[in-house]
Every structure is written in C-alpha cells, then in structure tokens.
Structure 1
Amino acid sequence: MISEKTMGHMSFRVAERISEADLQVSRHRVSVFLSTHTAYELLPESGKVVALDIDLPVKQAFHILYEQGISMAPLWDFSKARFVGVLSASDFILILRELGNHGSNLTEEELETHTISAWKEGKAYLNRQIDSHGKAFPRPLVYAGPNDNLKDVARKILHNEVATVPIIHSSSQDGSFPQLLHIASLSGILKCVCRYFRHCSSSLPILKLPICAIPVGTWVPKIGEPNRRPLAMLRPSASLSAALNLLVQAQVSSIPIVDDNDSLLDIYCRSDITALAKDKAYAHINLSEMTIHQALQLGQDSYSPYELRSQRCQMCLPSDTLHKVMERLANPGVRRLVIVEAGSKRVEGIVSLSDIFKFLLG
C-alpha cells in the first residue's frame, strides 16, 4: 500500500527558516572532522569479521548469515587470493524471488545447486553486466583501506548504495595477501561524529533543529505535494512476496507495517530475510501465501503480540532534534528511525543513516 495521508506536523516550508550560514558552517565543520580522521579509528579493540568462500553453496551461506546474526559478508576467492565481492540480504531476496518464479514452493535442492559464484555470475547476466566477449562480470568489490579518511568512506557507501564496506589492508603494493580488518558502516562513522561533537554541539547550530524543520528523510506526503515520493507502507496481512517486491522496486531497505489507522505495528527490513533460514523455512513456504506477520514471527522464539514486538522498531517524534536523532542512529544495529505521531504512533516518515549523511555532506 502507498499511503496518501497528510503529513500532520511536517511542513517543508519550515525548512526555509534554516539559516544558510548555520547550515554551511555546520556542514563545513563536519566535513573537516571526517576529512581529518581515518577508517582506522573505526576498528574495535576486539571483535570478529566473517568472510565466505565464493564456492560455498548459497544454502550454506544463507544459514551462516542467520546463525551469525549478520546481513552481509565479504566473499573470498581462493583461486585469486583476494576478496572479490559481498553477499548480502539483498542477494537472498533476489534469489528467493527468482526461485519463486519457477514453482509454487522453494525447494532446498534448488538452493543446493547454486554456489555463491554461480549466483553472482547469473546476477551479472540479469543486470546486463556483460563485456564485449559476452562474458558476465559481477560488480567489483567496494572497499576501503584503514588510512582512507572517513569522508571518503561515507561517500563510497552513499555513492554505491551499500550498507557497509569492508576495511581491507595489504602491505604489498599489488594488493596481495589482503587482511580483512573490519566492516565499516555509516553507523560507526556517525558514532565518531557524535562522540567528537558531544561536548561542543553548539559548534553545529543545525543540531538544535527539530527534524521536521529540515529537509531530511522520507515523509508521508501532504495534500498538494503530488511530486513528493510517497512512503511505502504495508498491512501485516500483506504477503511476503508483496514486501520483497516492494523492497526491490521501491529501492528501500525497510517497510513500516501499520494497522488500518497507519499506526506503527512493526517494520520489515531487508535483513529480516535471513529469518527464513530458521528451521529451513525457505524450503516449505510459498512467498505469496505467507503473510508479513507470519514472516516476522519466524524471528521470534515464541508468539508475542504486536505491542511487544514493536519494541524492536526504533522510533522518534517529528519534534525530536537532529542531535537526538543522530545519537539514536549511532547505536549499533540501528539503520533508520520511524517518525511517528506522539500518542497514536501514526507513521509520518522515516529517517535513515544515509539520509543524515546526505544532508550533512550536502
């Protein structure tokens, strides 16, 4: 469903009240900070990173991501002795949609026959990534080095429309013997920004503004704004197939799940697709028959009402300041906040990490 309800508190005319001087000063100071700090500062004192062999069966990769609680992993090619790409939740969405087009049920055997390498090559053909000799060339790996500045890392993520980039170090000029150090995200970069400006927030005047007063995020359009992109929302009774199609076609990473009054119940994200690996659910479901409500329950240990499950939805109010929103988005695992009306929890918009960085970087 595409909502056409009014925006309530939101009015982009308020954005005209933003002082251009304050905006430019704030952007300049953020830019200077990001340009003078490196990806090395994102590395934790301890932790682990997961990489997958490109010849691993897709089914096995699916289970590994689910068991590790991650939505993506870099791909290692032993024959080339280098990292060659990334397998993400988006890949699994496309795989399940593709397999679903050829039969009523998705079978475990179909996933057994596909290696990650074969899928990436097939995906390249689907995307018409063909060279002059008719050979498919999968999308090259987008990565950063530990000495790259944070501004360049953020721009790589935004420009390539990815959620993360691997931080890879090689002591050789030819890039041999690469070491996977970390998986960088906008959340980690934003955490550095918030930590640096936490005790001098006055140096960034725009931080005090409510998010409804700045042009950031995607909002439910007002009457008279037919050209503004509508916000995609779905009912819990909608099919999983409808949700996956919307994620792909609308090119969004999440969809608010709402009741008949457009009040927030839950949210379905690309990363939720990995829940289908639980008990091999992908082998005996029909994407068109399973509802979003049922799909979300797969990630739950036991049945719980929407009121409790909605706690996993990260929310904010239109009146919350940009500073508060940035602090919330800097928390690990938080990629977007659903903007709701106080009391009714009626959805008014979404603000994501990429929205914040596009605004801050200008």
Structure 2
Amino acid sequence: EEEELEFQQVEKATSLFNSCKIRHLKSMSKVTSCFDSLVAVSPEDSITAICSQLFEHQLHGVPVVEGGTALSVVTAFRILQYFANNLESKPDFMTSTLAELGIGTYHQILTILRETPLIVVLDVLARRELTSVPVVDDRGVVVDVFTQDDVLSLGCWPDLFDFMEEPLHDVISLIEKDGIQRHKPVPTCRRSETLENIVYRLLTNVGQRSLVCVDSEGHIEGIVSVSDILRFLYEIFISKKKEKK
C-alpha cells in the first residue's frame, strides 16, 4: 500500500509539472510571498544603498525585486565591474598599493593543509560559510585554493562518499583529470601591487573573486577580495558625500 501511495504521489507531481506554465507562476501567492523575508533591493535603489545591504548582511549578492517578482541578482563583482568600466578618469588611489591603502584581510587567515581529508575541508567551508580556502604545504607555502566551484564539481561524482577520507590534493588531481577548468596558476598577489592591477586581475579572471596575498617565498600574508575593494570604494564615496554636506 505504501508503494502504491508513493507511486500515486509521484504521478500527481509529474502531472502538475507537465501541466504548469510560466504564466501560472505569476499568479501563485506562495511564490511572491517568499520574498518578504529575503534581503532584497529594488530597481530604483542606488548603488550606495545596495552596497550598504551587501555589507550589513555580509552578502556577495542580493536579488533585485519589483512587485514581488525577482528580476535579477546584483553582486559585488558586477558593481565593481561597473565602477571600473565607467571611470572617466583614474583616481589617484588606483595607483596606490594594497599595503598603502590597507585593503584586504591579514589576520586570522584560515588555511588547509593539502593532506587534509576532503570531509574535513567540506565541514570547514560549511561551518565557516566560506566560498574558498587557501591550500598550503607543510612549509606553509600556498599551493592551491579550494573553492565552491570545486565543491560543485564533486556533485557529479556518483561515488563521492568513497572519497571523503581522501587527502585534498588527491581529490583536486581527480577533479582536474575530469577536465574541470580550474584556476592556473594559483591566484596569488603581493601587497606591493597597485589597486588598479588587482582590480584588473579580479575582473578578467572568470570565477575568481579573491586573491591570496603572499610574501616573496609564497607564504600566505592575507586575502584580498572583490568585497574588500568594493567596501573601500564605498567608504571613500560615503566620506566624500559627507564632506559635501
């Protein structure tokens, strides 16, 4: 009886999906009401207001909603891209270095040893709500960066659970053997590089949202992300706005 009931439920769900059309979704109150509890912005909000939402809620992107309908998603990356593409003249601070501007995070940087079991890495990413984590060897030299894109690629493995105890460097090798395009070389930078160069590198490397700052020997010093740069620009804009008042 249970199997028959389950079969009927599947048949009913299949019939519902086959008969449902896009226009039906607009009239479903359950679909539109789900936006009430979401952090969202409207098409009329300023870039400043959107940045404020991103920073306040520690988000990488927010949905643009109008009349209960999601129109798109605006991300920190897209805002930085807009800023870079619409500069009429280059601000002086763009030629200053990361060290001079103080952009990035340089304290309590989490790293993962390349021998760490995959299950531990996944647990760390989930609990810390991280999108990536630098991978180091036994000398503390950065040898890779394990990202959320790598995690997503694991979802294609039918026998994923058999690899949970495997060291991360072996898992990464298998991902690359599957033909998955990953960041090459390791996305690192130096604190002596200019902001202009860092912005260019972040915007021209597809899928890359942060760079690992290293010293001359490759040891990690910190991380600079798209959000770090956007926050810097936001604070400059806000301070200048207050000065005008």
What residue in structure 1 maps to residue 101 of structure 2?
214
1:56-95 superposed matches below 5 A = 80-82=30-32, 84=34
* Contact 2:64-2:71 at 8 Å conserved across structures: yes
In the alignment, which residue of structure 2 is the partner of 1:354? 227
Amino acid in structure 2 at the alignment position of 1:190: L
* Residue 188 of structure 1 pairs with residue 78 of structure 2: yes
How far residue 312 of structure 1 moved from its aligned partner, in angstroms, is 5.6
Query: Are 2:127 and 1:258 aligned?
Result: no
Residue 300 of structure 1 corresponds to 176
- 5+ long unaligned stretches in structure 1: 1-75, 86-138, 220-228
Closer, same or farther: CA 281–149 of 1 in aligned 2, 3 Å: farther
Higher Rg: 2
Q: Which residue of 2 aligns with 1:31?
A: none
C-alpha displacement of 1:243:
1.8
| Local SS of the residue matching 1:278 | coil
Structure scoring higher RCO (CA < 8 A, sep ≥ 6) equals 1
- Between the two proteins, the alignment pairs up a number of residues equal to 209
1:249 Cα deviation (Å)?
A: 4.5
> What amino acid is aligned across from residue 162 of structure 1 in structure 2?
L
Q: Give % identity.
A: 24
The aligned residue for residue 218 of structure 2 is 345
Give, as a single letter, the amino acid of the residue that structure 1 aligns with 2:234.
L
Contact 1:255-1:268 within 8 A present in 2 as well: yes
Distance 1:195 1:160, change over 3 A: same
> Closer, same or farther in 2 for the Cα pair 1:187/1:340, shift >3 Å?
same
Other structure's SS at 1:299 match: helix
Alpha-carbon distance change, 77 to 164 in structure 1, aligned in 2, over 3 angstroms: farther
Q: Is the 8 A contact 2:51 2:234 kept in 1?
A: no
- State how 1:1-362 maps to structure 2 within 5 Å: 80-82=30-32, 84=34, 140-170=37-67, 175=68, 178=69, 180-197=70-87, 199-201=88-90, 204-219=91-106, 229-282=107-160, 284-285=161-162, 287=164, 289-302=165-178, 311=184, 313-331=186-204, 332-342=206-216, 344-362=217-235
**Amino acid in the other structure paired with 1:241:** I
Where does structure 2 lack aligned partners over 5 or more consecutive residues?
A: 1-25, 236-245
CA contact (8 A) 1:83 1:141 kept: no
Taking structure 2 as the reference length, what is the TM-score of the superposition? 0.72
Are the structure 2 counterparts of residues 206 and 275 from structure 1 closer, same or farther at C-alpha, using a change threshold of 3 Å?
same
Q: Give the 3 Å change call, closer, same or farther, for CA 355–327 of structure 1 in structure 2.
A: same
